[in-house]
Amino acid sequence: MKLKNSRQKISLSASGARIRGDEYQHLVTWCLVLQILLDHRNVRDIGIEDPDAGNMDDITVYYQNGSGRFYQVKFSVDARQLVNTAWLMRPSKNKRPSIIQRFYKVWKTLRQNGITPHLELITNRPIDPEDPILVLRDGRGGSVAERLSNVGSGTLAGKQKLTMAQHLDASESELIDFLHALRFTFGKLQEEWFEKASLLMRILGYRWDNDAIAAGKNLVRSWVIDGKRKFASDELRREVESLNLQAGKPIPMLLVQAIDRDPNASGATILLDWVDNFYGDEPRERRRLKKSALWHKKFRPELQDAVRKFRAMGASQIFVRGYMRLPTWFVVGVELSKTSGFNIMTLQNGEPFSTEGKPDDFLISTKMNKRVAKGSELAIGISISTDLSADVLPYIERNIPVVGRYICVRPQKDPDNFCIESAAQARGCALNIREKVRQLVRKFKPDKLHLFLATPAAVALILGHYWDRLPDTQLYEDQGPNRGYLPSFFIPN
């Protein structure tokens, strides 16, 4: 009997591929449903294969303010097909419009109808690392628009930008406006969506085992089969409650309203509202306190009181949300620290990040080690998203004479919004930053650290959570472009 070569190419039938694609889409939809239940800020309704959404009909979320989020999900049975602009512009079957043309048509139509559209392509296909446009994708927002708008016409990206504009029959300025509304999520495997669903269900107080997640996917499948296309926010909650997944109370939530208020504040276990203590009429202006003593006379004591209340409840898992700047995220992590027995969770761009779990390796180095004065204290610039040295150094030299040395701590590769791609990487990043700073402290023996942050919010929170066995630490609030910094929280150690 002749055995088949074990390395022979195996391919799925069309129906098999379609079933796998449906499984992937239903899991993605279940995650979005959970996210809406957790954070339903002004959600009006959600659509599943919604006929009112034009070509972007996989998942739609409509908000009370007239905006909408439109998700298109593309599944691939393997990783042989990379996502690049050629794939985005390739005509669909029977010479129908390409993926990017369908997105563009929906964007134009929705804007003409008074809807502010936010579009997202979600796929398990990996990105083509050689594509000149898609490699410009911002790691936080997932858009290529900002960087693409600044490329020269003679570059590969500039030439591809012109090709895409011609493909859409759009001007370059229209293309950039459109791309500002389009987010790309590449290479997100089914296992990662499964992990996301598990954590969101845990936060909501649902069972989060395999059977519970399967029940959620089956609920989505039943909507598609039964032709249920739209659900109001309350109706959606009732549909999910019919699964009887509740296993206990939701994880307690700490909501910190520092620079803006949350329209969905009713779900908070403990709410801290500091907005009126800042100068400014909108969040981007709220950087400076009306009374600088409030950092220590009000804010930190209120955080410490919140920790005491969580302990009295017997809570060790805390879900953190809020509108705050990086020093506040950091100090929330400090107060809910690892050494105090807490584990904390938050959402970073909709993705659940937790201090629980194994860290991924994330290499940290120092780029700059500059003597700035004769003082004995040490300034540290944590430069994960961007290198803040050019802003921090002049401020230190003018305003902090007790600092003798400035050191930039950053990823081994260049700082970038792409750096942190998962909760495991965030944990690895935070732990390696702490170890690097401990090494610097052993070497230079400062009595006090001056800490400046340029990180994703979740990394600041997790770094604060791990910040122990280090000297007294003074944090600084960024005052905006060319405006320097001001001292904020002081953490004694």
Residue 491, pLDDT score: 97
417: closest CA among 192, 156, 143, 151? Answer: 143
User: Any bridge partners for residue 230, and if so which?
Assistant: 47
Indicate whether 214 belongs to any domain. no
Three-state SS at 404: strand
Residue 493, pLDDT score: 85
Last residue of one domain, picked from the residues 169, 185, 201: 185
382 neighbors 392 (Cβ within 8 angstroms) = no
Indicate whether 84 belongs to any domain. yes
- CA dist 134 and 148 (Å) reads 9
Residue 55, pLDDT score: 54
User: Any bridge partners for residue 122, and if so which?
Assistant: 73, 185
Record the tokens describing residue 387, joined without a space.
Answer: 């290198």
145 in the same domain as 25: yes
385 in the same domain as 338: no
Indicate whether 92 belongs to any domain. yes
388 in the same domain as 317: no
State the CATH number of the domain containing residue 459. Answer: 3.40.50
Residue 57, pLDDT score: 58
Residue 9, pLDDT score: 46
376 in the same domain as 302: no
Residue 41, pLDDT score: 62
Indicate whether 190 belongs to any domain. no
Last residue of one domain, picked from the residues 315, 345, 375: 345
306 in the same domain as 161: no
Residue span of the structural domain in which 398 resides: 364-491
Last residue of one domain, picked from the residues 185, 216, 234: 185
149: closest CA among 129, 157, 141? Answer: 157
Residue 2, pLDDT score: 43
Indicate whether 235 belongs to any domain. no
377 in the same domain as 293: no
Residue 81, pLDDT score: 78
369 in the same domain as 299: no
Indicate whether 233 belongs to any domain. no
In the chain (493 residues long), the average pLDDT of successive 10-residue segments reads 44 64 88 83 78 66 82 78 90 84 90 85 89 83 85 91 95 93 86 86 89 94 84 88 89 93 78 95 93 96 96 93 96 95 89 90 89 91 94 95 95 82 92 97 96 96 97 96 94 92
Question: How many structural domains is the chain composed of?
Answer: 3
473 in the same domain as 380: yes
Indicate whether 115 belongs to any domain. yes
Q: Half-sphere exposure of residue 446, counting CA atoms within 13 Å on the CB side?
A: 28
Residue 463, pLDDT score: 98
474: CB partners within 8 A, 6+ apart: 448, 449, 450, 451, 487, 489, 490, 491
368 in the same domain as 341: no
State the CATH number of the domain containing residue 88. Answer: 3.40.1350
330 in the same domain as 267: yes
262 in the same domain as 405: no
- CA dist 328 and 475 (Å) reads 9
Indicate whether 242 belongs to any domain. no
462 in the same domain as 379: yes
- Rg over alpha carbons for the chain, rounded to the nearest Å, is 24
The residue assigned the tokens 């970038």 is: 416
How many C-beta atoms surround the C-beta of residue 470 within 10 A? 18
